[in-house]
A = this chain, B = another copy of it.
Amino acid sequence: MTITEPLTVTARREIAGSWLAGFEAAVRAGDAAAAAGMFLGGGYWRDILALTWDLRTFAGRDAIGAGLARWLPARTPAGFWLEDTAPEMFERRSQGWTIEAFFTFETGIARCRGHVRLLTDPQAGEWKAWTLLTAMEDLKGHEEKAGAQRRASSSPHGVLPNDTGARSEAGPEDEPEVLVIGAGQAGLTVAARLGQLDVPALVIEREARVGDNWRHRYASLVLHNQVWANHLPYLKFPSSWPAYLGKDELADWLEAYAGVMGLNVWTSAELTAARYDPRAGRWSVSVRRGDGSVAALRPRHVVLATGVFGIPHRLELPGAAEFTGRLLHATEYAGGTPAPGVRALVVGSGSSAHDVAQDLHESGAQVTMLQRSSTCVVSLEPGAARAYSIYREDGAPTEDCDLVNNSFPLPLLAELHKDMTDRIAQLDDALLRGLRSAGFALDFGPDGSGFLMKYHRTGGGYYINVGCSDLIVAGQIKVRQGAEIARLSGRTVHLTDGTRLDADLIVVATGYQNMSESVRALFGDEVAARVGPVWGLDAEGEVRAMWRRTGQPGLWIMGGSLQQCRPYSKYLALQIKGCQEGLITPATAPQAPRAPGTPGGPS
């Protein structure tokens, strides 16, 4: 059976409904093998908390069957219900037409949502699951009080008969159950989610104002995807704001968000000591506040939300002490106005390097970029926008888009992005040829899957063109390619290829250290060893140590783009609530951290 055109809505609904009924029957019978048989041989099941209380991806019928066998007995999912009256169909180039549908179900403790993406099996001719996502939405009895479940009022007396009015007391502000370190998008979103779950949280921020982590960066910084992909939980950006937000707009928005959401934030506050007491299940932490006082807190959970821009990756530059110009890391570069004619060298070729180079050029400097290896470059539109195209101005609800987005396990996303990367490269042909002519080295990732997988795998090595590539193509920013700095002396930079150039200013934009170094700096070697590497993908294709239990009880890591923080803040908060309510035991990660390529079996 080959589908060559979209089916009627009635037919789609019947096919999706029938698959779901079959899946539910197998699940209720406890027949994991039968349920796994409803997937394609190369199908995926991704679970977000619903069955596993973890973020897990199972690839292929064997792994799916084993995963279901492991968790079905404990969770007994039931009440599967197709949400869509009109499931969508999409034509996937290499796979054919899919039918995609949302559904709801529940377990003993939670209300959940799912998304299934069906394809016809070339062998059997039947519709089978290519991807299945199961995700926890609400813990029963602890539903978020938002949207259709809003409180009637905050009035202490209520305004309606039987209206109990104000939210339950969150306790004094200095006795938080959760301490969140960092008030960027990661810290604020998880605090907002915890507030909805009535878990008292305190956010500490070392800067003087919420948003300063963005506000203090270079002036030309804009987000690289559009506003409708970047809404924070519970509050959408104004419709009058531009599509691509600048760093000050985002900074001010974060500050307003903290106020509007009633978050408990201490600014100018830093963690100075932290020790976990496993018997008490609490941390003993010291926080130095802006007035010099030190607060001693005993939270059950600490959420590290200091971002990937934590500890700069500084190059050891031979002769740095003899360099008579200025030498900065990109994190110290706040933009500004060097004297016209200043000779600037930017070391690196990722997003920060490009932004700094463009900013320097616009300030009148003569800029050279030292590109040491190769870079993946895409246009902002139409290139990068393709990766976010499910989010649209007047498109589907943001939460639905998030579910669809998270329904693609990263290993599958890498496969799909090879094709997308080819197509984007065709659209960007003129730009890419211009860059090559200018001596700039391009790549599309080790497997040709492009910039988005570079983001997920390493967080860098790509640039979404917001103008700097045009300057390179036009020769207004020079490129030196394939060399490193061998030595500095006076105002001269000697390169490893034997050439040299003169520079009055060097900005090193070579990225940041793995977040495990932030863990080490705050919590010490032992905790860092328990947590292991952060970011990058584990053997299943899930992100390591992020948004899930780590090897250190009571320590969580929150972060990522605005688009990631929105859904994952909810999943992290649900896990903390689950710990608070005794629904997750033990509180540690279900297994040791998995290195890339190391098979991690079900626990």
Q: Using a CB–CB distance below 8 Å, which chain A residues touch chain B?
A: 144-148, 150-155, 157-160, 192, 195-196, 220, 222, 227, 233-236, 238-246, 249, 252-253, 256, 259-261, 362, 380-381, 393-394, 466-467
A240→B146 contact, CB < 8 A: yes
A152, A159, A244, A249 — most chain B CB neighbours (10 Å): A159
Min Cβ gap A574→B in Å is: 16
A-B pairs, top 5 by smallest CB distance, nearest first, are A234-B240, A151-B242, A153-B244, A146-B240, A235-B238
Out of B151, B235, B240, B244, name the residue touching A196 (CB < 8 Å): B240
Min Cβ gap A132→B in Å is: 26
Min Cβ gap A312→B in Å is: 25
Cα distance A261–B259 when bound, in Å? 16
Min Cβ gap A94→B in Å is: 31
Min Cβ gap A423→B in Å is: 19
In the complex, what residues of B have CB within 8 A of residue A160's CB?
A: 380-381
In the complex, what residues of B have CB within 8 A of residue A240's CB?
A: 144-146, 150, 192, 195-196, 233-235, 261
Min Cβ gap A444→B in Å is: 22
Chain B: which residue is nearest A165 at the CB level? Answer: B242
A467→B150 contact, CB < 8 A: no
Out of B220, B242, B393, name the residue touching A148 (CB < 8 Å): B393
Min Cβ gap A262→B in Å is: 9
Min Cβ gap A500→B in Å is: 32
Out of B146, B147, B252, B380, name the residue touching A260 (CB < 8 Å): B252
- Given contacts A240-B196, A241-B150, A394-B147, A159 and B261 within 8 Å (CB-CB): no
Chain B: which residue is nearest A235 at the CB level? Answer: B238
In the complex, what residues of B have CB within 8 A of residue A222's CB?
A: 153, 155, 159
Min Cβ gap A263→B in Å is: 11
Min Cβ gap A392→B in Å is: 9
Min Cβ gap A562→B in Å is: 16
26 contacts between A and B (CB under 8 A): A144-B240, A146-B238, A146-B239, A147-B239, A150-B227, A150-B239, A150-B393, A152-B242, A153-B243, A153-B245, A153-B246, A154-B242, A154-B249, A155-B244, A155-B246, A157-B220, A159-B222, A160-B380, A160-B381, A233-B240, A234-B238, A235-B236, A238-B261, A252-B259, A252-B260, A253-B260
Copy number in the complex reads: 2
Cα distance A244–B261 when bound, in Å? 16
Task: Please give 14 more A-B residue pairs, beta carbons under 8 A apart, in addition to A147-B239, A253-B260.
Answer: A144-B240, A150-B243, A150-B393, A152-B242, A152-B243, A153-B244, A154-B246, A155-B220, A155-B222, A155-B244, A157-B220, A159-B222, A235-B236, A235-B240
Cα distance A380–B157 when bound, in Å? 15
A244→B467 contact, CB < 8 A: no
Chain B: which residue is nearest A393 at the CB level? Answer: B148
In the complex, what residues of B have CB within 8 A of residue A158's CB?
A: 467
Min Cβ gap A540→B in Å is: 33
Chain B: which residue is nearest A253 at the CB level? Answer: B260
Chain B: which residue is nearest A224 at the CB level? Answer: B159
B151→A243 contact, CB < 8 A: yes
In the complex, what residues of B have CB within 8 A of residue A145's CB?
A: 240
Min Cβ gap A516→B in Å is: 33
In the complex, what residues of B have CB within 8 A of residue A236's CB?
A: 235-236
A154, A242, A259 — most chain B CB neighbours (10 Å): A242
Cα distance A362–B151 when bound, in Å? 22
In the complex, what residues of B have CB within 8 A of residue A362's CB?
A: 157
- Given contacts A220-B157, A234-B239, A466-B159, A152 and B252 within 8 Å (CB-CB): no
Min Cβ gap A573→B in Å is: 13
In the complex, what residues of B have CB within 8 A of residue A234's CB?
A: 238-240
A244→B152 contact, CB < 8 A: yes
Min Cβ gap A360→B in Å is: 14
In the complex, what residues of B have CB within 8 A of residue A242's CB?
A: 150-154
Chain B: which residue is nearest A397 at the CB level? Answer: B394
In the complex, what residues of B have CB within 8 A of residue A192's CB?
A: 240
Min Cβ gap A600→B in Å is: 36
In the complex, what residues of B have CB within 8 A of residue A220's CB?
A: 155, 157
Min Cβ gap A217→B in Å is: 13
In the complex, what residues of B have CB within 8 A of residue A159's CB?
A: 222, 244, 380, 466-467
In the complex, what residues of B have CB within 8 A of residue A150's CB?
A: 227, 239-243, 393
